């Protein structure tokens, strides 16, 4: 996505060959990056929430495995690297998924080939995440377009926590449709829950929306229901930490309250 006219991903390979990521612990006050040169660097970035959001954690872990292979491609070292990374944020489903995928791919090749294979696989994981988020945006754009035609005015959309591009590699999940709607000229305004105690909404969602030029307002976590009662919310879009086969959703604490308020006030509610 864009920041001051420059396109960024949250994690990428720098010209020097090192893994580089946006340091989200310094947002919104400073856009800074960190270089991940070792397994320990990748683990520390996840543990301290310099990188966060399940998709980005998975991508960072994948590169962490590649960095581990660079230092020692043996089976024993890679097994230990996977254990180290898994312990950083064990509740992030993408973390275990990425580690399982990386270990399976690396087990199929000889140690001398593992560094190149690992970096290619990590890059493939990143590219797949970008495409998945883009497709969420394409699908969600049509929902927003339909609502906008019915409303005939600017749409007010409420979101909770951060499920934008900072939580992923690019685009984001819940915010991908918002960015595509904005870019398509559909007038939208976003109510951004501050999302205590880590304030991901106030610190991260507001930052990325502002950088992209999307009108938004940061609100207290408990204001959403009041806004819905007053007819000032047309749509709620949130992320999903886990989604069951039966379409039950687990997400950041506070999401349930928004879902109840949306149902009570007839506001469409989507998880992405």
Of 72, 71, 83, 73, give the one whose Cα is nearest residue 105: 73
Fold of domain 2-128: 1.20.120
- Rounded to an integer, what distance in angstroms lies between the CA atom of residue 152 and that of residue 26? 39
DSSP 99-116: HHHHHHHHHTS-GGGHHH
Of 265, 212, 208, 262, give the one whose Cα is nearest residue 238: 262
- Rounded to an integer, what distance in angstroms lies between the CA atom of residue 50 and that of residue 31? 12
Q: Residue 121 is inside which H or E element, if any?
A: helix 114-151
- The string over 62-94, giving b where at least 16 C-beta atoms fall within 10 Å of a residue's C-beta and e elsewhere, is bbbbbbbbbeebeeeebeebbebbbebbeebbb
Pairing of strands 11-13, 155-159: unpaired
Q: Residue 3 is inside which H or E element, if any?
A: strand 2-3
Residue pair 64/107 in contact by the 8 Å Cβ criterion: no
Give mean pLDDT, residues 14-27.
96
Give mean pLDDT, residues 174-186.
98
Instruction: Quote the pLDDT of residue 79.
Output: 98
Both tokens of 120, joined, read 């290619």
User: What whole-number percentage of the chain has pLDDT above 90?
Assistant: 96
Kindly tell me if the per-residue pLDDT of 120 is higher than 90.
Answer: yes
Kindly tell me if the per-residue pLDDT of 176 is higher than 90.
Answer: yes
Residue 51 three-state SS: coil
Residue pair 60/46 in contact by the 8 Å Cβ criterion: yes
Residue 79 three-state SS: helix
Pairing of strands 249-250, 242-243: antiparallel
Give mean pLDDT, residues 44-56.
97
Catalytic residue annotation: 241
Kindly tell me if the per-residue pLDDT of 1 is higher than 90.
Answer: no
Residue pair 175/158 in contact by the 8 Å Cβ criterion: no
Give mean pLDDT, residues 95-108.
98
Pairing of strands 155-159, 235-238: parallel
Instruction: Quote the pLDDT of residue 171.
Output: 98
Of 136, 204, 199, give the one whose Cα is nearest residue 171: 136
Give mean pLDDT, residues 234-251.
96
**First-last CA distance in the chain:** 18
Instruction: Quote the pLDDT of residue 66.
Output: 99
Task: Please tell me which residue, 218 or 150, carries the higher pLDDT value.
Answer: 218
Rg (CA), the chain: 19
Kindly tell me if the per-residue pLDDT of 142 is higher than 90.
Answer: yes
Instruction: Quote the pLDDT of residue 2.
Output: 87
Kindly tell me if the per-residue pLDDT of 4 is higher than 90.
Answer: no
| Average pLDDT of the chain to the nearest whole number | 97
DSSP 30: -
Give the model confidence (pLDDT) of 202-225 as tens digits: 999 999 999 999 999 999 999 999
CATH of domain 135-271: 3.40.50.10470
Give mean pLDDT, residues 237-241.
97
Kindly tell me if the per-residue pLDDT of 18 is higher than 90.
Answer: yes
Kindly tell me if the per-residue pLDDT of 232 is higher than 90.
Answer: yes
- Rounded to an integer, what distance in angstroms lies between the CA atom of residue 44 and that of residue 49? 8
Give the model confidence (pLDDT) of 185-202 as tens digits: 999 999 999 999 999 999
| pLDDT grade for 262, boundaries at 50, 70 and 90 | very high
């Amino acid at each position: 996505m864009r920041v001051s006219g420059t396109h960024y991903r949250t994690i990428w390979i720098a010209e020097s060959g090192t893994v580089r990521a946006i340091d989200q612990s310094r947002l919104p006050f400073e856009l800074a990056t960190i270089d991940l040169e070792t397994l320990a660097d990748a683990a520390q970035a996840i543990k301290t929430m310099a990188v966060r959001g399940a998709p980005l954690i998975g991508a960072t872990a994948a590169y962490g495995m590649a960095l581990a292979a660079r230092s020692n491609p043996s089976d024993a070292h890679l097994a230990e690297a996977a254990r180290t990374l898994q312990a950083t944020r064990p509740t992030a489903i993408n973390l275990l998924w990425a580690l399982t995928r990386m270990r399976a791919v690396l087990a199929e090749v000889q140690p001398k080939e593992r560094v190149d294979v690992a970096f290619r696989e990590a890059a493939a994981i990143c590219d797949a995440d970008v495409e998945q988020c883009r497709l969420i945006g394409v699908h969600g754009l049509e929902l927003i377009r339909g609502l906008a035609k019915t409303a005939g005015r600017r749409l007010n959309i409420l979101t909770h926590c951060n499920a934008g591009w900072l939580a992923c590699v690019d685009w984001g999940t819940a915010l991908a449709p918002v960015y595509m709607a904005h870019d398509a000229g559909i007038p939208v305004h976003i109510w951004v829950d501050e999302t205590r105690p880590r304030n991901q909404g106030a610190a991260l969602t507001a930052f990325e929306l502002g950088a992209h030029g999307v009108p938004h307002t940061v609100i207290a976590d408990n204001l959403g229901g009041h806004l819905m009662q007053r007819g000032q919310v047309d749509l709620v879009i949130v992320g999903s930490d886990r989604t069951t086969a039966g379409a039950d959703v687990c997400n950041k604490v506070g999401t349930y309250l928004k879902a109840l308020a949306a149902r009570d006030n007839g506001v469409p509610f989507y998880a992405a």
